[in-house]
């Protein structure tokens, strides 16, 4: 059970406090309700670019890292298609430093052509190194637009194309900041060796005077139901042929999400999972194969991906995957197998509630989903899933017409 208190400042900033006096540390986690899905199709990659810009200093604090390092703190951030999340860990006795740093860049981030040039180049190099110049690196640049035709999940967090980052202007950046980086569009979680009443005082002191703004209203086009199988083949200089199959699945708040996530574990969690035993150990078709969900807030994707053993026909490898999916659609998962994957999920959730930063991040995310308190019933939602639920969900997802297949073939 993760306990917390909640209050909201007059400018709309939601604040959650989790007291944990077993540690001398504190964490300040700020989640902004903006991700790649909120971008203009002609100007993608901005959420990720902005994550970098947020460390370029604010009007009153030219160096973000320096004062934090002086008080023994560390920080980082990440961007997804749904959110941008920033966090600081530091000794609880220096908590106010984190409030000072975070409030100042929310209020008055420093915008300079020099900082924009530097971060544009950093992100452009990341795009090239991780997505363009690495074997299989551009998979998500190909697979997302194959699976999504309308929804803004059709581009990756890094962006649709390099030119969008290279051409990002100061005007574009300032407009993005004004729209999304305001108190009403953020959730702040403070955890560790802190007291709720003291956090309330600090929140009012450092964030209370930041002007209120309207929370952005989303108007994202919903993805229509897929009615026919899609397939694309790429030839590239990669060591092995590979296959990626994407299926549309329920959104993060739907009970179907938990059923689908359990299916991914049945298929590929550990060396006793179905895909490992059948496709790697017994049939020796794949050198590696995995199944996982994207975990998206809006309806996401269930992915199966694998690298095919040299000499194995791609058609045989692909059919072997479908054979395993057919079993899930026609045969109930044995009770022992379902219990095993549920136990693994339960242990994962327990460990996630042991780390201070994990707890803070999860509280922020569940508050964004609707209620941070739902974090405490997350495990139960997995445990309630029955073999019949798995059977029905597999039948609704694993249909040819719901599939988008990317074949990544080696030139050798």
Which residues have a catalytic role annotated? 51
Distance separating the N- and C-terminal Cα atoms of the chain: 54
Spatial CB neighbours of 338, under 8 Å, sequence gap ≥ 6: 262, 266, 385, 387, 390
Within its chain, how far is the Cα of 143 from the centroid? 17
The two tokens of residue 103 are: 């409030």
Question: Using only C-alpha atoms, what is the Rg of the chain?
Answer: 23
State how far the alpha carbon of 219 is from the alpha carbons of 160, 187, 189, 222, in Å: 19, 21, 27, 9
Q: Which neighbouring-strand residues pair with 31? A: 85, 187
Q: Which neighbouring-strand residues pair with 230? A: 404
At 250 the three-state DSSP class reads coil
DSSP string of 107-152, one letter each residue: HHB---HHHHHHHHHHHHHHIIIIIISSTTTTHHHHHHHHH-SSSG
DSSP string of 276-338, one letter each residue: IIIIIIIS--EEEEEEEE---SSS-EEEEEEEEPTTS-HHHHHHHHHHHHHHHHHSPPPHHHH
State how far the alpha carbon of 146 is from the alpha carbons of 149, 155, 364, 386, 398, in Å: 7, 10, 31, 32, 17
């Amino acid at each position: 059970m993760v306990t917390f208190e909640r209050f909201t400042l007059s400018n709309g900033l939601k604040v959650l406090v989790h007291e944990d006096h077993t540690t001398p540390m504190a964490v300040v986690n700020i989640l902004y309700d903006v991700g790649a899905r909120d971008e203009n199709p002609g100007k993608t990659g901005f959420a990720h670019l902005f994550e970098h810009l947020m460390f370029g200093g604010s009007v009153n604090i030219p160096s973000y890292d320096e004062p934090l390092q002086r008080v023994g703190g560390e920080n980082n951030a990440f961007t997804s298609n749904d959110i941008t999340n920033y966090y600081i860990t530091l000794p609880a006795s220096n908590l106010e430093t984190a409030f000072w740093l975070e409030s100042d860049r929310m209020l008055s981030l420093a915008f300079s052509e020099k900082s924009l040039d530097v971060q544009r180049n950093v992100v452009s190099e990341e795009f090239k190194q991780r997505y363009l110049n690495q074997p299989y690196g551009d998979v998500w640049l190909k697979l997302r637009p194959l699976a999504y035709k309308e929804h803004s999940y059709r581009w990756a967090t890094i962006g649709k194309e390099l030119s969008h980052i290279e051409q990002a202007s100061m005007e574009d950046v300032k407009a993005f900041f004004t729209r999304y980086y305001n108190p009403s569009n953020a959730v702040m979680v403070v955890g560790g060796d802190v007291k709720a009443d003291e956090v309330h005082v600090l929140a009012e002191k450092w964030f209370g005077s930041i002007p209120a703004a309207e929370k952005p209203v989303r108007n994202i086009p919903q993805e229509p139901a897929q009615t026919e199988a899609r397939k694309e083949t790429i030839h590239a200089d990669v060591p092995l042929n590979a296959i990626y199959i994407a299926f549309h699945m329920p959104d993060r708040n739907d009970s179907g999400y938990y059923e689908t996530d359990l299916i991914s574990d049945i298929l590929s969690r550990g060396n006793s999972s179905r895909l490992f035993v059948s496709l790697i150990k017994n049939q020796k078709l794949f050198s590696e194969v995995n199944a996982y969900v994207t975990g998206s807030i809006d309806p996401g994707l269930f992915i199966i991906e694998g690298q095919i053993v040299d000499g194995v026909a791609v058609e045989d490898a692909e059919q072997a995957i479908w054979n395993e999916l057919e079993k899930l659609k026609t045969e109930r998962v044995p009770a022992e197998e379902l219990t095993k994957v549920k136990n693994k999920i339960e242990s994962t959730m327990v460990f996630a509630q042991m780390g201070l930063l994990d707890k803070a991040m999860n509280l922020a995310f569940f508050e964004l989903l609707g209620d941070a308190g739902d974090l405490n019933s997350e495990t139960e939602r997995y445990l309630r899933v029955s073999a019949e639920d798995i059977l029905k969900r597999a039948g609704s997802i694993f249909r040819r017409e719901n599939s988008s297949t990317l074949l990544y073939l080696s030139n050798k």
